[in-house]
């Protein structure tokens, strides 16, 4: 029987003609994949996420436990001494770290404020960096006054830290991490009761 098929020579000719174009397209596609990997996975999640203003998206997903029991902080919940916390990096593309004006609702100390204004780095009491939103020591503030607390935040296990933390030895004062031995214990995710029971036949 007859099959609808291009003759060999035509196929070969087409291929030869388009050979260079194919190669170019392949190279472009490869470059695009590399660039997307770098920007979307290694460095930042898409920019549009960072346009949410404070208050648009308060997340109950993140639970921050302030270490009130730990002696080294000497926190007086009744203090009126105002403390400024500067969010230096983004948090996975969010300039505001998905916080809102209710950030301190569950904190016994009320005399704190959060800012994203980098110009305030000179008077911020604490400066917070998310480990996944900077890539070299030069991304950090240019100077570190001795009274200023630099906090390294991370929500991911070591495999997803994506940088060599040995470069930051003696740079940070506190950790804010999912580990219970962090200075500020910040886990995320939670267990919830299922609405429907799961039928299992084991």
Residue 141 burial by Cβ neighbours in a 10 Å radius (0-12, 13-18, 19+): middle
Contact of 156 with 135, CB cutoff 8 Å: no
Out of 7, 142, 146, 189, name the contact with ligand NAG by CB under 6 A: 146
Does residue 76 touch ligand NAG according to CB under 6 A? yes
Of 77 and 137, which CB lies nearer to ligand NAG in the complex structure?
Answer: 77
Does residue 147 touch ligand NAG according to CB under 6 A? yes
Smallest distance, ligand NAG to C-beta of residue 174, A: 8
Smallest distance, ligand NAG to C-beta of residue 185, A: 19
Beta strands in the chain, from DSSP E residues, in sequence order: 83-87, 112-115, 126-130, 149-153, 174-177, 184-185
DSSP letters spanning 145-161: -TTPEEEEE--S-GGGT
Contact range with ligand NAG by CB under 6 A, out of 41-49, 55-63, 141-149, 176-184: 141-149
Of 36 and 106, which CB lies nearer to ligand NAG in the complex structure?
Answer: 106
Smallest distance, ligand NAG to C-beta of residue 200, A: 50
Does residue 149 touch ligand NAG according to CB under 6 A? yes
CA-nearest of 154, 129, 125, 149 to 140 is 129
Q: Enumerate residues 156-185 that contact ligand NAG by CB under 6 A.
A: 170, 173
Smallest distance, ligand NAG to C-beta of residue 156, A: 23
CA–CA gap between residue 121 and residue 62 (Å, rounded):
25
Smallest distance, ligand NAG to C-beta of residue 158, A: 22
* The residue to which tokens 């070299």 are assigned: 136
CA-nearest of 101, 104, 105, 111 to 78 is 111
Contact range with ligand NAG by CB under 6 A, out of 62-70, 71-79, 176-184, 189-197: 71-79
Out of 5, 60, 69, 78, name the contact with ligand NAG by CB under 6 A: 78
Total residues in contact with ligand NAG, by rule CB under 6 A: 9
Tokens of 10: 């035509």
Contact of 58 with 102, CB cutoff 8 Å: yes
Q: How many CB atoms lie within 10 A of CB 197?
A: 7
Question: Could you list the residues that contact ligand NAG (CB under 6 A)?
Answer: 76-78, 144, 146-147, 149, 170, 173
């Amino acid at each position: 029987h007859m099959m609808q098929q291009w003759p060999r020579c035509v196929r070969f000719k087409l291929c030869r003609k388009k050979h260079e174009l194919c190669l170019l397209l392949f190279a472009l596609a490869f470059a695009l994949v590399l660039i997307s990997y770098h920007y979307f996975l290694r460095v930042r999640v898409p920019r549009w996420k960072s346009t949410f203003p404070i208050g648009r998206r308060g997340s109950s997903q993140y639970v921050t436990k302030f270490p009130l029991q730990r002696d080294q902080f000497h926190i007086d919940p009744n203090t009126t001494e105002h403390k400024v916390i500067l969010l230096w990096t983004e948090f996975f593309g969010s300039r505001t770290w998905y916080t809102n004006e209710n950030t301190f609702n569950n904190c016994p100390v009320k005399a704190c404020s959060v800012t994203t204004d980098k110009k305030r780095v000179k008077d911020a009491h604490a400066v917070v960096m998310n480990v996944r939103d900077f890539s070299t020591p030069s991304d950090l503030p240019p100077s570190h006054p001795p009274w200023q607390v630099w906090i390294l935040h991370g929500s991911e296990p070591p495999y997803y830290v994506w940088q060599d933390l040995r470069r930051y030895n003696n740079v940070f004062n506190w950790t804010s991490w999912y580990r219970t031995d962090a200075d500020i214990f910040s886990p995320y995710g939670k267990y919830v009761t299922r609405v429907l029971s799961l039928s299992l036949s084991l």
